[in-house]
Amino acid sequence: MSYVTWVFQTYFGYSKEKSEQLMMAVHHEGRAVVSHGTRERMETDTAAMHGYSLWATFQKDE
């Protein structure tokens, strides 16, 4: 299991399969939507990803 997959499972509670899909999207497309919600929640999730040494940003839905 990759570190990114482990983080997605541990922090977001995703299944192994969902975590692997998201990890592959990041690998092939350079990004993936891994969370959505209020601005405050997105700031928290982004900071958490940084805490795991992963690059993460958030943006408003269009």
For the stretch 22-39, pLDDT in tens is: 999 999 999 999 999 999
The pLDDT of residue 35: 95
The pLDDT of residue 61: 79
Give the mean pLDDT of 47-59.
95
What does the alpha-carbon distance between residue 60 and residue 27 come to, in Å, rounded to a whole number? Answer: 22
Q: Which pTM value belongs to this model?
A: 0.87
Q: Does the pLDDT at position 12 exceed 80?
A: yes
State what percent of residues in the chain have pLDDT above 90: 92
